[in-house]
Structure 1
Amino acid sequence: MATDAEVLQVPGPNGERNVRISSPTRVLWPEPGLTKLDLARYMIDVGEAFIRANGDRPVSLQRFPGGIDGEQFFSKNPPKGAPDYVRAVPVVYPSGRSHPQLVLDEPAAAVWAVQMNTVVFHPWPSRAGDSDNPDQLRIDLDPQPGTGFADAVPAAFELREVLAEAGLTAFVKTSGNRGIHVFAPIEPVREFLDVRHAVIAAARELERRMPEKVTTAWWKEERGEKMFVDYNQANRDRTMAGAYSPRALAHAPVSCPLGWDELEGADPRDFTILTIPARLADVGDPWENMHEKPGTVDVLLEWWDRDVSNGLGELPFPPDFPKMPGEPPRVQPSRKNEANWDGEEKKKAGQYN
């Protein structure tokens, strides 16, 4: 029996590959009426820039078998029947467990992922050959209720200055929603905890400079109407939507790299799977040369040490992480009381209040 499918020719470094797309008319984004085939063609159009940004990295696939309004789940290891141009590398998760994780090396692999109903791609900040040592410092500026993208813009510019003072060159992209992602290329010589501490140091410096606009408070009840600097995105196995990755939001937005001169007047709703191919053709990829001159986190770690000596220390980890050395108690501030806090926990937390 004939099946509803279409075969796409996908150019790449090893020549053209034929990738079969089943159920091509399945609607993924009901509002604009965009289909699985539309997404596959988008991945072909942006393939070179997409792989440059997200390839050769462990990646998690956020899959939506019935469209963005339906069931979703994450895939980390290659499913059975994956083509031979899709590979995996072993990575270590926060639990200490090791497991193979997908790696995409060419546009055909990204189109194959679309065939597997992937909408959002979540790459690690480290390379496949050295997954324990990030080559990107990543900072997520996350607008809290009462704030939005426009509020994130001045924080991003100030963060750029903070990183420059630490010897790092910052790159910026929309999150695909209301936030802003700031990246800096770094030499892959420090493991995740060190890079996390570097991010916390930069976040605290930004908070000092913009105390009414920026917060590092982990607990939502303490953030107020500020920009949260989500330092926990720097942890092992914590990822954000990759550059040029679509997002599972109604208007089919894309996490779009920008030049710093574009950020001030940008509207994240303008960057969708319908508009990005023409944008790449017109203005090119602002992240094309990101990794030509990586920096180090050495200065930021000096700032971290300075802050520790001044009484600031570790910040909370995500709840699914094992308890980490020096971490303050995982107790919501409004729930702090004698019954759930022993004396040692109070002593440790005192330096963070």
Structure 2
Amino acid sequence: MAGALEVEVAGRAVRLSSPERVVFPERGFTKQDVFEYYLAVGDGIMRALGSRPTTLQRFPEGIGGEAFFQKRVPTRGVPTWIETAQIAFPSGRKADELCPADLAHVAWAAQMGTIVFHPWPVRKGHVDQPDELRIDLDPQPGTDFADAAKVALVLKGVLDELGFIGWPKTSGGRGLHVYVRIKPQWTFVEARRAVIALAREVERRAPELATTKWWKEERGERVFIDFNQMARDRTIACAYSLRANPRATASTPLRWDEVGSVEPDDFDLRTVPARIAEIGDPHAGIDEVAHDISELLAWSARDAEHGEGDMPYPPEYPKMEGEPMRVQPSRARKQDS
């Protein structure tokens, strides 16, 4: 196996060890391929990661080996130039996470076996106030990417009426994500409630396609709009992040006119750099506008008045104010009978 390489990235020397190690066996992609991919999509991934606390999903021996999520940057053996940001978990515990200030941070993470980058929806200067809404369209059994695309287009109609710009991307799997940049003026609780209000409006317009039901037994063959991806410490793969699957797909920004015509397998480690070279980054303008979510919060208050209040949080969360019982409907019925 070839020895270590030293590569200059953003004016810094980044070491790449074991460059020939196979990371994606089915495609034959190596650690060096992954490293070079992240350099090739540098502007785009920095748009997604820049100044954001970021959890690293690492696969030191490739996607067939042991994997883990790294939420804390080690205190030893780390270059002096690596920047971090302190975030607080729902439990109140804190951690210093990687906070990419330039592409060298991404390259260093790739050297450490990172395949998937999971940034928080906040920036270093305001770690408790999200600056984007993340709408996760998750196909349920019996549905697929084409169904998620149909729901995304319904969502676009709602966003258009609000005067919001939505930025769609593939998840790298079967789903779609849509991001909306917002002013960093609201809490995680408020941002999550804004997404719930938005999701409910989509569900009302396309009840046969979309659902906000948290419990799987109630979702049916519909696309779940996962509002809990806006809860504190819940993250999703960022734009241009690779995914840990055999095809080495990438979560890829789309134009809206592509949403109904592409397939997730179209975008992978090999094809995405060529796509950027040909058409540029469809998310190039994502930082130009930050929206006010006051109207969505008014929708949330209106829904609460009509009996549609908060929704269950993920099971690892402490009980949240105003949250309904975290009991599956079928179990609740048994307990009541």
Q: TM-score, normalised on structure 1?
A: 0.92
The correspondence for 1:251, drawn from 222, 247, 254, is: 247
Give, in whole Å, the separation in 2 of the partners of 1:265 and 1:3: 42
1:121 corresponds to 2:138: no
Q: Residue 30 of structure 2 corresponds to which residue in structure 1?
A: 35
Segment of structure 1 superposing worse, 251-260 or 96-105: 96-105
Give, in whole Å, the separation in 2 of the partners of 1:140 and 1:207: 14
Q: Residue 6 of structure 1 corresponds to which residue in structure 2?
A: 5
The correspondence for 1:319, drawn from 308, 315, 318, is: 315
Give, in whole Å, the separation in 1 of the partners of 2:162 and 2:65: 44
1:337 positional shift: 4.5
1:19 corresponds to 2:14: yes
Give, in whole Å, the separation in 2 of the partners of 1:71 and 1:297: 41
Give, in whole Å, the separation in 1 of the partners of 2:157 and 2:298: 17
Give, in whole Å, the separation in 2 of the partners of 1:252 and 1:126: 27
Q: Is the 8 A contact 2:2 2:19 kept in 1?
A: no
1:77 corresponds to 2:72: yes
The correspondence for 1:64, drawn from 59, 65, 72, is: 59
Number of equivalent positions: 336
The correspondence for 2:203, drawn from 204, 207, 227, is: 207
Give, in whole Å, the separation in 1 of the partners of 2:288 and 2:158: 21
Q: Residue 331 of structure 2 corresponds to which residue in structure 1?
A: 335
Alpha-carbon deviations, 1:148-201, whole Å to 9, x = none? 100111110110111222232111000000100011111110010000000000
- From the superposition, tell whether residues 325 and 5 of structure 1 become closer, same or farther in structure 2 (CA, over 3 Å): same
Q: Is the 8 A contact 1:31 1:250 kept in 2?
A: yes
- Following superposition of structure 1 onto structure 2, how do residues 90-239 of structure 1 map, counting pairs within 5 Å? 90-239=86-235
Q: Residue 277 of structure 1 corresponds to which residue in structure 2?
A: 273
Give, in whole Å, the separation in 2 of the partners of 1:180 and 1:61: 21
Segment of structure 1 superposing worse, 141-150 or 257-266: 257-266
1:294 positional shift: 1.0
Give, in whole Å, the separation in 2 of the partners of 1:145 and 1:250: 21
What amino acid is aligned across from residue 9 of structure 1 in structure 2?
E
Q: Secondary structure at the match of 2:273?
A: helix
1:89 corresponds to 2:88: no
1:77 positional shift: 1.8
Give, in whole Å, the separation in 2 of the partners of 1:40 and 1:65: 13
* Aligned sequence identity (%): 51
Give, in whole Å, the separation in 1 of the partners of 2:173 and 2:200: 24
Q: Gapped runs of 5+ residues in structure 2?
A: none
Segment of structure 1 superposing worse, 176-185 or 285-294: 285-294
1:263 positional shift: 1.4
Give, in whole Å, the separation in 1 of the partners of 2:330 and 2:3: 55
Give, in whole Å, the separation in 1 of the partners of 2:164 and 2:127: 21
Alpha-carbon deviations, 1:241-285, whole Å to 9, x = none? 000000001100000001111212111101101111111111011
What amino acid is aligned across from residue 26 of structure 1 in structure 2?
R
What amino acid is aligned across from residue 103 of structure 2 in structure 1?
P
Give, in whole Å, the separation in 2 of the partners of 1:151 and 1:56: 34
Alpha-carbon deviations, 1:206-229, whole Å to 9, x = none? 000011111001111111110000
Q: Is the 8 A contact 2:131 2:181 kept in 1?
A: yes
Give, in whole Å, the separation in 1 of the partners of 2:333 and 2:258: 48
Q: Residue 351 of structure 1 corresponds to which residue in structure 2?
A: none
Q: Secondary structure at the match of 1:111?
A: helix
1:3 positional shift: 7.7
